[in-house]
Amino acid sequence: MSRRTAPLSPEQPMARFAGRLATGLREVTHDPAALERGGFWAVVHDFEGRLTCARFADVRPDPAPPATDRWHGPAPASWHSSLDADAYRAGVRRIREHIAAGEVYQANLCRVLSAPLPDPARTDVDALTGLLAAHNPAPHAGTIRLPEHGVEIATASPELYLARRGRTVRSGPIKGTGRTEADLLDKDHAENVMIVDLVRNDLGRVCETGTVTVPDLCAVEKHPGLVHLVSTVEGTLRPDAGWTELFAATFPPGSVTGAPKSSALRIIHALETAPRGPYCGAVGWVDADRGEAELAVGIRTFWIERPPTGAPVLRFGTGAGITWDSDPDREWQETELKAARLVAIASTGTPDRSPQGAPRR
C-alpha cells in the first residue's frame, strides 16, 4: 500500500498521473525528440501547437491528494464564456452552411470559460486535483505544475489521445454525449464513425501498412453525470517513426477538430474568439525508459493563467462536434452538460451547484 506524502509547496514543480507523483524537475524542453532519449516526462501540448516536456527524476506511487480547503475557487457567478449562447448557436448554423457547401463533414465548436481566482494564496492546482479526484474521477486524470513555465493544469479527461507500449500505439476517440444512453442519437454514432476514419488515416501515416485496426467501435462508456460513445484505434509504429512523427501525423486530435481536419481547423479559427490553450490539446506522461506513454485529449481540463498584474484566472473549455444534423439548441446544451459538474466542483467544492455565470445563458 502506498503512503500519502505531505502536501507539496504550491511553487514546487510536479506532475501526477496514474497514481504516481513525479518531482525533482531536471529539464524542460519543447523538442518532441527528447521523449525518445530516456527518463520520465510530463507532457502538455497546447491546441495552438506549443509543446512543453518536463523530465522528472523522482517518480513514486502516491494517491491523489485529499479534498481540502487548500483550494479557493472562483465565485459561481463570476464565470464568463468566450461565446455566449446566441454566438454559439450562430456558430453552429455557420458550420452547417460550410457542410452544405461541401467544405467539411464535421467541425468541433468550442468556447472557453474564465473566472478570476479571488485568493492567490489558495490557488494550488494540486488542491483542485484533490477535489476532482473526489467528485469526478476520470480514467486519464492528471496534473502538471510548472509555475516558472506558465503551466498549471488539472485534467479530468475521459479521452485517450495516444497510448504507447513499445511500437504499439492506441487512440480512443470520443464522439457522442448524453445524460444517459437513451439520449444518444444516430447523429452521434455517425459522428463517431467519421472521426474514427480520420484517426485511422492519421495513424496510418506513421504505422506499418495493414496494422491499423479498430478493436472497438461506438462502445458506450459511463462517466459522472453523462455517457459517451468511445471507439478504439490501434496500430504498430514504423521503425523510423517516433514522437516527432506521431505528433506531426495526429495532432491536434481529430475528435476535437473535425473532418477533414485542415478544413475544420480553418473554420474553428474563424468562429472561435479565444485560444483553446491546453484544452483540446494533449496532457499526459511518457516513460521513455520503459517505452510506455499515455496522453489524454485535454478535455474536462482546468488551467490557471497568472497575468503580471491582477488576479490569477481559472479557465475551462467546453465544446461539441457539429454535423449537418446538429440542432443549435441541443449543441449548446451539450456544452453546458459537459461543463456544469466540473465548473461547480471548481467553484463550490461539490458537484451539486451549477454556476450561472453571465453570459453563459
**pLDDT tens for residues 324-355?**
999 999 999 999 999 999 999 999 998 875 44
- Count Cβ neighbours within 10 Å for each residue of 120-147 and write b for 16 or more, e otherwise: eeebbbbbbbbbbbbbbebebbbbbbbe
pLDDT of 24 strictly over 80: yes
DSSP state, residue 251: P
Give the three cell numbers for residue 30.
519543447
pLDDT band with cut points at 50, 70 and 90 for residue 6: low
- Decide: 107 and 268 in contact? Cβ < 8 Å: yes
Q: Phi, psi (5° rounding) for residue 227?
A: -125, 155
In this prediction, residue 7 carries a pLDDT of 66
Q: Which long-range contacts (CB under 8 A, 24 or more apart) does 345-348 make?
A: 345/131, 345/132, 345/135, 345/136, 346/71, 346/73, 346/74, 346/128, 346/131, 346/302, 346/314, 346/316, 347/73, 347/74, 347/75, 347/76, 347/79, 347/115, 348/73, 348/76
Rama region for 127: left / alpha / beta (φ>0; ψ in -120 to 50; rest): alpha
The pTM assigned to this predicted structure is 0.93
- Count Cβ neighbours within 10 Å for each residue of 13-42 and write b for 16 or more, e otherwise: bbbbbeebbbbebeebeeebebbeeebbbb
